Structure 1
């Protein structure tokens, strides 16, 4: 991100998830910028445990098929309409990025810290997409954790899907209120006598 410190802080303060998307999504150059920003996240041990699987165009249909397979596996009697609804989730934005944590097992940096680094990469991805004028939403849901989807993405047992990011032209923004600082901040400034 470039800009004055105030512009960067304003971007952070305005950040919100998109609810609905339309074309266009990011161009190839813009997507490269978004992913390049994502990998600048803090990474204890410089392990780079993040992997990005990008679904665009008809490639989103492959993700949709995996999402439908998850519903079918969990609910063998699922009707065609329910399976189609699951498939359509992958088509809600022009660009979909699955963010995967591929931890280095046995390293002195615990897996939980590696997962936190990947989550930080997800936050950078969102902010970079917003900075370029795109809406973005971070989703997980049952599909992110399901064996059928994990196998379809070629994940190892120790890998995890940290998020599925939908990126496109924002049509509607989340109306959910933000937390107030009073609800989430505790100050401990003075030493006890």
Structure 2
């Protein structure tokens, strides 16, 4: 097994993050890795926002004002604190470009692949990551507050920092649980190694 395969097999999301955040040079290299995502026609249909320091509180205010949070004080306070779970949040944004041969869905998948590459590069540098999405990624108040254009989509909020305590390993399914071999129309058989 190569070191890359071993790394992928051991990768996990880590929700318990604290300072320090990755330094600027590490983040820059990780973003360069993100730009290596498959990209049909070299459209570069992505952009990223790096949020840290006092800007995390401003992001929390956007979360608290969003329409996806219950109108209770407790729910709004929890939303306000959400970005403070890590010393840095990187927002991935799919930014499709008009192209006759590359539909928006391919460009969105490219941007999501970039988020995956970004998370792997930060993990490889020794930092914890937690890719979060959910209702906040689709809320118009948050989209507007982050300056998204009408056709842009949030691919996720990548929380990153130093792991304060590792979570227990998560059981992973074997490939036979989610793969079938297609042998022709309406003909499938279980995948086995």
| Match for residue 128 of structure 1 among 121, 145, 149 | 121
2:4 maps to what in 1? 8
Q: Distance in 2 between matches of 1:21 and 1:62?
A: 19
1:96-120 Cα offsets, whole Å, 9 max, x none, are 0010001013442000000110111
| Length, aligned pairs only | 184
Asked if 1:47 corresponds to 2:18, the answer is: no
Helix, strand or coil: the match of 1:81? helix
**What is the CA distance between 1:31 and its match in structure 2?**
0.8
1:145 maps to what in 2? 138
Q: Distance in 1 between matches of 2:69 and 2:35?
A: 37
1:124-162 Cα offsets, whole Å, 9 max, x none, are 011101100011011111111000001101112211001
Q: Distance in 1 between matches of 2:40 and 2:161?
A: 31
2:112 maps to what in 1? 119
2:170 maps to what in 1? 176
Name structure 2 gaps, 5 residues minimum. Answer: 188-193
1:102 maps to what in 2? 95
Provide the TM-score with structure 1 as the length reference. 0.88
Contact 1:22 1:169 (C-alpha < 8 Å) held by counterparts: yes
34-43 vs 103-112, which moves further: 103-112
2:155 maps to what in 1? 162
Structure 1 residues 45 and 174: alpha-carbon distance in aligned structure 2, compared to 1, 3 A threshold: farther
1:62-113 Cα offsets, whole Å, 9 max, x none, are 111110111xx3467x233221110111110111001000101344200000
RMSD of equivalent CA atoms: 2.0
Provide the TM-score with structure 2 as the length reference. 0.88
| Match for residue 18 of structure 2 among 17, 22, 26 | 22
Asked if 1:38 corresponds to 2:38, the answer is: no
Helix, strand or coil: the match of 2:154? strand
**What is the CA distance between 1:175 and its match in structure 2?**
4.2
Name structure 1 gaps, 5 residues minimum. Answer: none
| Match for residue 60 of structure 1 among 33, 56, 60 | 56
1:79 maps to what in 2? 72
